[in-house]
Homo-oligomer: A and B are copies of this chain.
Amino acid sequence: MNEKLEKTQDIFLEKISHICSEFGLNNIMAQLYAILYFSNNPLSLDDMCERLKISKGSVSVNIRMLERYGVVRRVWVKGSRRDYYAGEKDISKVIIDRLKSMAQRRISEIDNMLKAVYDEIDSVDPQNGEEKEDARAFKERVDALKNLHHKAQTLVKLFNSGLLNNFLGTGSKIKQKEEVLLSE
A residues lining the B interface (CB < 8 Å): 1-2, 4-5, 7-9, 11-12, 15-16, 18-19, 22, 24, 37-38, 40, 89, 91-92, 95, 106, 109-110, 112-113, 116-117, 120-121, 123-127, 131, 133-135, 137-138, 140-142, 144-145, 148, 151-152, 155, 167-169, 172, 174
Contact = CB atoms under 8 A, between A and B. Distances in A.
A135 to B, nearest CB: 6
A146 B116 CA distance: 43
Q: Per DSSP, are chain A's interface residues mostly helix, strand or loop, or mixed?
A: helix
A11 B138 CA distance: 13
A12 B112 CA distance: 10
A138 B19 contact: no
Given A15-B113, A141-B38, A135 B5 contact: yes
20 contacts: A1-B131, A2-B124, A2-B126, A2-B134, A4-B124, A5-B135, A8-B121, A9-B138, A15-B116, A18-B109, A40-B137, A89-B141, A91-B144, A91-B145, A91-B148, A92-B148, A141-B174, A148-B168, A148-B169, A151-B168
